[in-house]
Structure 1
């Protein structure tokens, strides 16, 4: 029947392999991603959910226990997925019975059949110079990250028209497009999940093509504004996307749904729900009561982990809710940190040009670095947080949970809330330096500290920072810390301790009070 989640035997076999081994191994020996690697996890959703004004604990399972190992995250992620489908997106069906198509240097065609219904759509392709096969970035609706930079970096551009899959301007009881031709015009699934389904079907075709033109295992997605909402949903709902890059996504995108009503000038939840059927129909119950949601967008950020995520926001347009976006990014980064992948997320709202969907010079270098790291597999630059003082959220106001230290092996669940200890790596090797940069606003600040190795490589570092009187840290990323005020020692994480001679890495923290005047010293050996 339309909307059923019947999964092909191949997908079930792959899920079984994942349950046993934690990965599917391709012929090349690399881990092959699947659309939803938690599909085999048993999830039973309750009929109702407790209300909370704070962001839900991403590490707390539906049964009330907290995960304790990194392997536990796989099935916890599936819980979050189903909660998000139930309340925010509507259901994104699994791969249909038949998906066929073609891939050329200029075009991709997709033909889908399910339960006696069929639909077709296509996408354009622009290749970079050089010899393929190439990694590729889906550019949703023609608005996304700088396509010239994408191609110059060695990745192809796939021009995806989401309106062919789900049209805007339609009533909720008569939705149109390829998705709704298959699953019915009255489907309760919103456009964002439908658009994500369309990209997933293109990836199916790329996988079947044998990778002669485009690499199915090196795919990114980007989009701006409404298509930034789409890019985010695509990365959240398909784990074959290696790099997700939403831009100025606004309400229904990255910004925390609970925070939006309190952010002056931002697009309200009811307004966004009524503007277009982006949300699933069930979200109507939460437009005036986001505290009743069992999930929020910080957990969707966490669903992308440990894959690459580069969030770009515009703090100059209130409508875009960049403050709520920073809250979701900071909270979601805690999932990255717990999984040992803190260097895989970048957030950047510290930009000068306020034009909507502008191509900004501040984003060019991190765009190149993310493509190199996650698509070309030639880079290792760590992610950074550059939060504009104009729209900096305070994570401490939005959470009452701490980030656990997850073990590498199988875990057990516990109903208690763990603390957040850090295990520093003993520094060794040559000297290092620490450079401090502070974005200050009335009552708060974000500090970024760049650690640079000297003339010899180092295998670990500690930064001793002296915070000004009255300054207090509320959250930090890419480093462990010994305290929140006064003299604080920051230690490297597992992914950013080893630096070659002259190489740099960055960590940061958000705080209240005044950060200007902070001094820092890097210590090794």
Structure 2
């Protein structure tokens, strides 16, 4: 890189250094700089716009593509500090895997305890071993027949065992919290992300499963779509992330959804979601009436998947998902892939006229193009996809006061 924009930052304490190691776990690149200490809530200032994803915490802006990994590490730390809770930096050596009857058993020994969970695998009857695979958070709601016919295996991840999500009383319950304590900062979605990372560790050590750990995608719908995004954002071994109708806490910006609610739309907002369930860390509720104080928004979380592939699937027929918010948020996130010179590595498809979590046939070509190109590795189809059937416009004048930098 041409410069180290973090060189002005003070050194961090041992405790913060530990948290930064956590925030960059599971194959986020090593850094040669220090992320600054996380700001306190009281020091955050109001910003009604979507925060600039290219602006470092020290006020300097990216000038080269290589700097994205450093800015991404900052965003990952901020997202964990304020929204998701921290993902433990569990070593791969703590994980073992075994395979039998089309199931992988993942065992983890850490923090003086051992937990195990089982992931079932549905194999294709075409393609070559070891197979690429899509991990479904609680299962896949994509066109699974089409995926199998493309030679892609489907792995079902038991997210509700790893971290419960029944309602607000579920906080701190599940295998993750049995290991790390019921008072751990991690939300349910971050606990699921940790669990999928441990699944990948196990697959890397279990060739009998006939799954290629270098060609893994992740998906999930609705609440599990929020989880799929968290998985893809915090483990670089996920090559393709496909959150399906994740709505608030997924594709929809907290700021824009608040504006939609104020305008009379029935959409899910931050103030509602923190009381409904445990998908975000407990302290996230402090932003219930101040989402504009967040030093990031969901466009930045989507961007944590860059430069890997991301396909967001949304639905214009369900107002609760805040389709206007998702449309604008996706365009803000897409600017990161644009700056990196790979705009066709991030797509957004928003089609209505169907039930929640039911993939219509009209979106199958887009799914196929992304899976073939980024997961199977042989596709040449069009992945330049930014479409909605809602007739929405992109309101940059209201939400964006920054430009896409020309990066070296």
Between the aligned partners of 1:338 and 1:7, the Cα distance in structure 2 is: 27
Q: Which moved more, 1:373-382 or 1:202-211?
A: 202-211
Between the aligned partners of 2:203 and 2:61, the Cα distance in structure 1 is: 38
Contact 2:307 2:337 survives alignment (8 Å)? yes
Partner of 1:257: 254
Between the aligned partners of 2:284 and 2:328, the Cα distance in structure 1 is: 21
1:116 to 84, 105, 112: 112
In the TM superposition, 1:81-100 aligns within 5 A as: 81-96=76-91, 98-100=94-96
In the TM superposition, 1:32-431 aligns within 5 A as: 35-38=27-30, 41-44=33-36, 45-47=38-40, 48-96=43-91, 98-104=94-100, 106-130=102-126, 131-169=128-166, 171=168, 175-210=172-207, 213-263=210-260, 264-349=265-350, 351-381=351-381, 382-407=383-408
SS at structure 1 position matched to 2:108: strand
Q: What whole-Å deviation, never above 9, does each CA across 1:430-464 have from its counterpart, x for those lacking one?
A: xxxxxxxxxxxxxxxxxxxxxxxxxxxxxxxxxxx
Question: What's the CA shift for 1:396?
Answer: 3.2
Partner of 1:493: none
Question: What's the CA shift for 1:50?
Answer: 2.4
SS at structure 2 position matched to 1:259: helix
Question: What's the CA shift for 1:171?
Answer: 4.6
Between the aligned partners of 2:116 and 2:250, the Cα distance in structure 1 is: 27
Question: What's the CA shift for 1:315?
Answer: 0.8
Partner of 2:5: none
Where does structure 2 lack aligned partners over 5 or more consecutive residues? 1-15
TM-aligned CA distance change 1:135 to 1:338, over 3 Å: same
Between the aligned partners of 1:188 and 1:352, the Cα distance in structure 2 is: 36
Q: Which has the higher contact order (CA 8 A, sep 6+)?
A: 2
SS at structure 2 position matched to 1:144: coil
TM-aligned CA distance change 1:211 to 1:5, over 3 Å: farther
TM-aligned CA distance change 1:7 to 1:62, over 3 Å: closer
Between the aligned partners of 1:396 and 1:376, the Cα distance in structure 2 is: 39
SS at structure 2 position matched to 1:202: helix
Between the aligned partners of 1:121 and 1:249, the Cα distance in structure 2 is: 25
SS at structure 1 position matched to 2:46: coil
Contact 1:105 1:126 survives alignment (8 Å)? no
Between the aligned partners of 1:85 and 1:135, the Cα distance in structure 2 is: 29
Between the aligned partners of 2:76 and 2:404, the Cα distance in structure 1 is: 20
Structure with a larger share of its residues in strand: 1
Between the aligned partners of 1:212 and 1:224, the Cα distance in structure 2 is: 25
Question: What's the CA shift for 1:89?
Answer: 0.6
Question: What's the CA shift for 1:359?
Answer: 2.4
SS at structure 2 position matched to 1:258: helix
Question: What's the CA shift for 1:182?
Answer: 1.4
Between the aligned partners of 1:265 and 1:197, the Cα distance in structure 2 is: 33
Aligned length: 383
Question: What's the CA shift for 1:143?
Answer: 4.2
Between the aligned partners of 1:63 and 1:174, the Cα distance in structure 2 is: 35
SS at structure 1 position matched to 2:353: coil
Partner of 1:451: none
Between the aligned partners of 1:187 and 1:269, the Cα distance in structure 2 is: 21
Q: What whole-Å deviation, never above 9, does each CA across 1:13-70 have from its counterpart, x for those lacking one?
A: xx9xxxxxxxxxxxxxxxxxx5322466521123332220000000000000001001
Bigger-Rg structure (1/2): 1
Where does structure 1 lack aligned partners over 5 or more consecutive residues? 16-33, 408-525
Contact 1:105 1:125 survives alignment (8 Å)? no
Question: What's the CA shift for 1:383?
Answer: 2.4
Instruction: State TM-score, norm by structure 2.
Output: 0.88
Contact 1:38 1:75 survives alignment (8 Å)? no
SS at structure 2 position matched to 1:179: helix
